[in-house]
Amino acid sequence: MADKTIPQVFTSPTYGQVDWEEALSKMAWFMGVDTTASYEIIIGTDSEAQNGTADYVSALIVHKKGRGGIYFWGRQKVEKIFSMKQRIWQEALMSLSIAEKLVFDFAQMGLVDLNLEIHVDVGPNGPTRELIADIVGMIKANGFRVSVKPASWGASHVADRHV
């Protein structure tokens, strides 16, 4: 049974539409081409709500520091989302689920020392500021590094581009 918090189809500006396994394979290949480079994997989710339904876009990004990168994005619609707080929590939970699956699946491929960070679309300005401590705490408690606005470009710029 498929994990409902992970999109079934991902789209890449470079590779087009791929499934989860192919996205991971392309990410691993990209990091393997230049093994002397420094890479970071960024996962971020952004959303837009309308009439109780939220449209979520999650981005998987491999950033080759100082030299670009590749990314994949996947879309999911979730019904019965009625508050901004509920929508933001769902974004964080989706990113966390994707990060956990990515770490597990990469470990199966022999890739274990990942420089991974989750980018959440919350920040010190605006209505999401009251959620920062709880969301950051949840992600850190699960063993992941986390960035918030303005440093959370994976969510606020890459994923946001496709919502």
Neighbour tally for 99: CB within 10 Å: 24
In a domain, 46, yes or no: yes
In a domain, 141, yes or no: yes
pLDDT, tens digit (0-9, with 9 covering 90-100), for 129-142: 999 999 999 999 99
Residue type, 102: L
pLDDT, tens digit (0-9, with 9 covering 90-100), for 76-107: 999 999 899 999 999 999 999 999 999 999 99
pLDDT of residue 1: 34
**pLDDT class of 5 with cuts at 50, 70, 90:** confident
In a domain, 79, yes or no: yes
**pLDDT class of 55 with cuts at 50, 70, 90:** very high
Q: Read off the pLDDT of each residue in 10-36 and give the average, rounded to a whole number.
A: 97
Alpha helical stretches, state H, the chain: 20-33, 84-108, 132-141, 153
In a domain, 105, yes or no: yes
pLDDT of residue 4: 65
CATH number at residue 75: 3.30.420
In a domain, 144, yes or no: yes
Domain that holds residue 49: 10-162
In a domain, 116, yes or no: yes
In a domain, 156, yes or no: yes
In a domain, 106, yes or no: yes
Distance separating alpha carbons of residues 120 and 80, to the nearest angstrom: 21
Query: How many domains does the chain contain in total?
Result: 1
